[in-house]
Chain A
Amino acid sequence: MRKHLSREQVRHIAWLAKVNLSKEEEELFTKQFNEILDYFKKIDELDTEKVPPTFHIIDLKNVFREDEIGPSLPIEKALLNAPRKKGNFFKAPKML
């Protein structure tokens, strides 16, 4: 079986996706991703050169309303599930 992804590539994509992996997961996923991508190769059989893509099954339109102030979630409710907060704010990890 031709390898689609190396372990280093899996680690890099996981980094892009912001998901740390354990060493065991890296190894397991490398094997499984190659099997899955090998199966996905089936789509190469079809010529879709002139076929338009269907991003969405219905015609999506933005939903607009008048620009009027309406009720919103109270601050205490919006913060209810925050793991860390300070005053009326979410407390995020340091950026630098």
Chain B
Amino acid sequence: MTGEISAVECVSSVFQRIREVEDRVHAFITLTEELALKKAQEVDNKVSRGEKVGKLAGIPIAIKDNICTEGIRTTCSSKMLCNFIPPYDATVVQRIKEEDAVIIGKTNMDEFAMGTSTELSYFGPTHNPWELSRVAGGSSGGSAAAVAAGEAILALGSDTGGSIRCPASFCSVVGLKPTYGLVSRFGLIAYANSLEQIGPLARDVYDCALLLSVIAGYDPKDSTSVNIPQKDYTRFLANDIRGIKIGVPKEYFEVGTDPSVAKCLWNGITKLESLGASYEETSLPNLAYSLPAYYLIAMAEASSNLARYDGVRYGFRVDRDDLDWSEAFSETRRIGFGTEVKRRIILGTYALTAGYYNRYYLKALKIRTLIRRDFERAFRKFDVLIAPTMPIPPFKIGEKINDPLAMYMCDIDTVPVNLAGCCGVTVTCNFVNGLPIGMQIIGKPFDEGAILRVAYTFEQNTPFKDVRPPLRGR
């Protein structure tokens, strides 16, 4: 806090904005105004007493509703968890609280983070602040829309196959998927545990780097957390990319990428070249197999992770004494889960059954090895890779809802990063008909500094971050 604005003023202004636009955007499932103002007052009191305050002092932050918050309802956008109040905080929540951030609410998402549009929420879809008839992207659509609409300064999302980068691209905010293992997953409600990571969404690259610096770091409570020294990622934000070698994998432009998206990307790459980087086309030959491999792995892991929803320890329960355990379990899940969740659990179960394990699941894991090798080979030559974030501009609400395969195809540009365990950030590289187009900057594992540096330099030398959605308050 600089003292120019108090935490209470800052938080109050955000809630004012929420009152003005939230009925049209629907970024939140739960708002915590009273708690937030109390916390903001505590921060102001600390400042007035001359006490040291944290890096995020008084900053209003929205949390995706699959990240556990002690005492605050955490639903995963599902009927199954619509009354679930976690008895503990996720490690990332603990860390932002230690830095005096102010939690303002829990954001809408695709149920259990399974989706690409935030239409698959039990609580209804989030609308894109740039054009309300369009999707915000998913599954962290609420988090991205909240930041884009000015309803939050920062947000946390989770990214299993692109769920931070996709909505960040569709809503024109900065979204980063960290390297697998960099950010603790303790308290993240699991969907596909070998792929998902919590990450930041912000209005600009600096804020994104700041939030990443707070949440990253080893956590003994998470066996998938990697013990490496913590970094201040804001230190990488030099407005200088001279000498940076960029690889542009040609396959990203061969998989149904809309010509308008490709044009924006190439203009962005040319801009980076004019700023001192060099670029070269390259190849990731197995990229075309990443989408089926991703969905097979994610569905298999989902079928296992979601077995915990049995209606006994928490969550929705069909309360009928005439049903035995097996019937009550199955009926609870029929009513408690939405269609996409059921689709993935059942297909995942199929892929893991004895007769099909080798054909589907094991084969997908082997393809994952090939994709990882492709990236390793590319990173021997290049510092970063550049690709579209989404193959198409934001689409209309309802346009793909009845065609799951068409929806899955939208993840084609983001899933390879999760399969390979790399990091990726998206920044806006232009607008087409008033809709944002995202540029994905991909880095080798634990090289978040490099992708943030490229993203920051691009942002500082282009006008896109200052363009705001035409969403007026009422």
A residues adjacent to B (C-beta < 8 A): 5, 10, 13-22, 25, 28-29, 32-33, 35-37, 39-40, 42-43, 45-46, 48, 51-58, 60-63, 65, 73, 77-78, 80-84, 90-96
Contacts and interface: CB of A to CB of B under 8 A. Distances in A.
Contacts of B360: 40, 43
Contact of A13 (B87, B315, B328, B353): B353
B180 A58 contact: yes
Contact of B87 (A28, A29, A77): A77
B223 A33 contact: no
Interface string B394-419: 00000000001100100000000000
Contacts of B315: 81, 83
A15 B286 CA distance: 35
Contacts of B382: none
Which 7 residue pairs spanning A and B have beta carbons closest together? A57-B421, A53-B365, A81-B314, A83-B317, A20-B334, A48-B366, A93-B328
B325 A95 contact: yes
What is the predominant secondary structure among interface residues of chain B facing chain A?
helix
Nearest to A45: B289
Contacts of B292: 39-40, 42-43
A43 B404 CA distance: 19
Contacts of A81: 83-85, 87, 313-315
B421 A58 contact: yes
A32 B353 contact: no
B364 interface: yes
Given A80-B87, A93-B323, A42 B288 contact: yes
A18 B337 CA distance: 12
A95 B20 CA distance: 52
B367 interface: yes
A51 B286 CA distance: 13
Please report whether the interface of chain A is mostly helix, strand, loop or mixed according to DSSP. loop
Given A25-B342, A36-B405, A63-B223, A17 B303 contact: yes
Contact of B333 (A16, A20, A37, A60): A20
B324 interface: yes
Contact of B367 (A39, A46, A73, A96): A46
Contacts of B314: 81-83
Interface of B: 83-85, 87-88, 180-181, 194, 220, 223-224, 226, 286, 288-289, 292-293, 295-296, 303, 307, 310-317, 319, 321, 323-331, 333-334, 337, 339, 342-343, 345-350, 353, 360, 362-370, 372, 404-405, 408, 420-421
A61 B181 CA distance: 12
B367 A13 contact: no
Contact of B404 (A20, A36, A40, A93): A36
Contacts of A45: 289
B333 A32 contact: no
A84 B319 contact: yes
Contact of A55 (B88, B194, B323, B348): B194
28 contacts: A13-B349, A15-B330, A18-B307, A25-B339, A29-B342, A29-B343, A32-B404, A32-B405, A42-B292, A43-B367, A45-B289, A48-B366, A48-B367, A51-B366, A52-B369, A55-B194, A58-B226, A78-B87, A81-B313, A81-B315, A82-B312, A82-B314, A83-B311, A83-B315, A83-B316, A93-B323, A93-B328, A95-B324
Contact of B224 (A10, A14, A43, A60): A60
B409 to A, nearest CB: 9
A94 B327 CA distance: 10
Nearest to B345: A17
A96 to B, nearest CB: 7
A64 B359 CA distance: 35
Nearest to A5: B350
B473 to A, nearest CB: 37
Nearest to A55: B365
B327 to A, nearest CB: 8
B87 A43 contact: no
